[in-house]
Chains A and B, each alone.
Chain A
Amino acid sequence: EMLFHSRDRSDLEPSPLSRAKPIADLRAAQRFLSRYGWSEVPAAWGPSPKGPAEASVGSTLVQAVRRFQRANRLPASGELDAPTLVAMNRPRCGVPDTRLPPPAILTTPPAPLAPLGPRP
């Protein structure tokens, strides 16, 4: 069982193995932003693209972080500072928050997505 001592289980302690991984680094933050619709750039599951693609990914990420910060009433620094990471780690609903702006508004093209399989 999960350990608790109070009658109402208010002190229930989940095991460390069942705790969500905290969002504490760039990769986790990228995954978060992509998962909840703040960024089109997917988490890097394979080798990172080199050259100009890296710069566009970074710029897109900064924009995504700023959008997230503005929505959460944080200073829109574009940096993954402590308050931003705290906001990302708060309990939340799994439904995406937002839709990305139309491609014409993006200043840099997003990285190409991995193919999803045969075209329908």
Chain B
Amino acid sequence: RVRSKRFLQMLLPRPGRQQEDTWDSKAIRAFSKKTLSWRLVGEAYSSQLSVDEQRYIFRLAFRMWSEVTPLNFREDLTSPGATVDIKLGFGRGRHLGCPRVFDGSGQEFAHAWRLGDVHFDDDEHFTPLSSDSGISLLKVAVHEIGHVLGLPHTYRTGSIMQPNYIPQGPAFELDWSDRKAIQRLYGSCEGSFDTVFDWIRKEKNQYGEVRVRFSTYFFRHGWYWLYENRNNRTRYGDPLPLLTGWRGIPTQSIDAFVHVWTRRRDERYFFKGNQYWRYDNDKDQAHTEDERGGSYPRLISDGFPGIPSPLDTAFYDRRQQLVYFFKESWVFAFDVNRNQVLSSYPRKITHVFPAVEPHNHPFRSIDAAYYSYAHSSIFFFKGKAYWKVVSDKDKQLNSRLPLNGLLPKRPASEKWFDVCDVHTSALS
């Protein structure tokens, strides 16, 4: 009777948590804080893998959820156990004071308590990332953490929350539906960006023909994401530290990126403070010297006379061969061929890019200006929102739209999905 009672308590919240319904209720509650601590309990290590391997796998499992939710997870090895949000451990049969007894090898391999702890049956043959036999500990951990966060089982094909273990290759990821399910509980990832740009790559196909491809990047503070436009998500495993992917430029808080691309020029610049760097695409690092032997970084005032610093953002207009620099409520149009600001500038952003809907405008201090090849449009980002600049196509559909007008703002998270922070400890 005591065991039955404790089993029923599995469906109820742990003391101190939010009151909630049973597992498959639509009104499931969730953790209310954004950073959650976890620990692999010292007296409950698996006998099958090294402790480091177990911790690494759990760290990765938590990170996978963090990459698609506003939640961050940090491993906590020092705080009193009662203050750790999620504890994980291995056991056999009767284990860890748990009312649910494991059944030995086969059938039940783990269980979890919503907003609580995770137990793994150490009679199962759990295997690490590199193995394609046994039961993937990573896959089981991701599944059980899903329960801890509030997700129930589903029989939807492809979901990580299917109740039965599906043997697959070692690589698996959270698909669109699993992401949306967890985001219904915790919301989408939002936040401002330092800069957003498309990086052009020229490649030759097997026939020797030059093809142009682009990759979309989002920068925020000291890390970055590659956004896969065709998959409507960021690259698996992002964000990454700026330091690892972009050598030679400042390691955080980039102000702007500009790609000057004409018939004769193909130059990429990063701006921060009063300086700028030119990036060497072939060597995949910043130039250390310019053509005249001068060293990088250079002063913005030297390379772009008439442009103030620090900047808010900038973008290059290929049709006009102008770089638009933004600072506060002003925009500067810089002619790259004559190397000077157009005589009619600076002008108010609201005049050059007027609001289509009155008062629906960023007005000043734009975070990022971005020309998207995927959308053939220019976007202005500020805070969690973006404004789209009226394009030729928009004007064809509605000729009354002002040239270069700004369409009403929308949430950035509704167009670029899952650009999510992770805990700083997960960046290494």
A95 within 8 A of B: yes
Residue among A20, A115, A117 with max Cβ neighbours from chain B (10 Å):
A20
Assuming the contacts A72-B155, A116-B5, asked whether A20 and B108 have C-beta atoms less than 8 A apart, the reply is yes
B42 within 8 A of A: no
* Cβ contacts A to B, 12 pairs, < 8 Å: A12-B134, A14-B123, A20-B108, A36-B163, A37-B23, A72-B155, A93-B110, A93-B147, A94-B102, A94-B109, A96-B153, A97-B152
Contact B107 A18 (CB under 8 A): no
Q: In chain A, residues 61-99, which have Cβ atoms closer than 8 Å to a Cβ of chain B?
A: 71-73, 87, 89-99
A10 within 8 A of B: yes
Whole-angstrom distance between the alpha carbons of A97 and B147 in the complex? 11
**Chain B contacts for A92, CB-based, 8 A:** 107-109, 163-165
CB of B104 to closest CB in A, whole Å? 4
Contact A91 B106 (CB under 8 A): yes
Assuming the contacts A8-B131, A10-B133, A95-B147, asked whether A20 and B111 have C-beta atoms less than 8 A apart, the reply is no
**Chain A contacts for B212, CB-based, 8 A:** none
B22 within 8 A of A: yes
Assuming the contacts A21-B103, A91-B135, A99-B24, asked whether A115 and B108 have C-beta atoms less than 8 A apart, the reply is no
**Chain B contacts for A37, CB-based, 8 A:** 23
CB of B21 to closest CB in A, whole Å? 9
Q: Which residue of A lies closest to B128 (CB)?
A: A8
Contact A99 B164 (CB under 8 A): no
Assuming the contacts A90-B165, A98-B153, A115-B1, asked whether A14 and B24 have C-beta atoms less than 8 A apart, the reply is no
Contact B1 A116 (CB under 8 A): yes
Whole-angstrom distance between the alpha carbons of A93 and B8 in the complex? 17
Binding site for B on A (CB under 8 A): 8-10, 12, 14, 17-23, 36-37, 71-73, 87, 89-99, 114-117
Assuming the contacts A12-B125, A99-B22, asked whether A20 and B155 have C-beta atoms less than 8 A apart, the reply is no
Contact B112 A95 (CB under 8 A): yes
B25 within 8 A of A: yes
Contact B153 A14 (CB under 8 A): no
Out of B5, B22, B110, B127, which one reaches A94, CB within 8 Å? Answer: B110
CB of A8 to closest CB in B, whole Å? 6
Q: Which residue of B lies closest to A96 (CB)?
A: B23
Binding site for A on B (CB under 8 A): 1-2, 4-5, 8, 11, 22-25, 48, 92, 100, 102-112, 123-125, 127, 131, 133-135, 140, 143-144, 147, 152-153, 155, 163-165
Whole-angstrom distance between the alpha carbons of A21 and B134 in the complex? 19
Whole-angstrom distance between the alpha carbons of A10 and B133 in the complex? 6
Out of B2, B92, B109, which one reaches A91, CB within 8 Å? Answer: B109
In the A-B complex, list the 3 residue pairs whose CB atoms are closest, starting with the nearest: A94-B111, A14-B105, A20-B103
Residue among A8, A71, A95, A117 with max Cβ neighbours from chain B (10 Å):
A95
Out of B105, B135, B152, which one reaches A18, CB within 8 Å? Answer: B105
Whole-angstrom distance between the alpha carbons of A99 and B108 in the complex? 19
9 new A-B contacts at CB < 8 Å, known A94-B108, A117-B2: A12-B134, A20-B106, A21-B103, A22-B106, A91-B107, A91-B164, A93-B147, A95-B23, A95-B153
Whole-angstrom distance between the alpha carbons of A37 and B8 in the complex? 11
Q: Which residue of A lies closest to B132 (CB)?
A: A10
CB of A99 to closest CB in B, whole Å? 5
Contact B108 A19 (CB under 8 A): no
Assuming the contacts A12-B125, A99-B23, A117-B5, asked whether A93 and B111 have C-beta atoms less than 8 A apart, the reply is yes
**Chain B contacts for A73, CB-based, 8 A:** 155
**Chain A contacts for B140, CB-based, 8 A:** 93
Whole-angstrom distance between the alpha carbons of A87 and B153 in the complex? 16
Contact A20 B134 (CB under 8 A): no
Residue among B1, B2, B4 with max Cβ neighbours from chain A (10 Å):
B4
Q: Which residue of B lies closest to A17 (CB)?
A: B104
Contact A10 B134 (CB under 8 A): yes
Residue among B48, B133, B147 with max Cβ neighbours from chain A (10 Å):
B133
Contact A19 B135 (CB under 8 A): no
Contact A93 B125 (CB under 8 A): no
**Chain A contacts for B133, CB-based, 8 A:** 8, 10
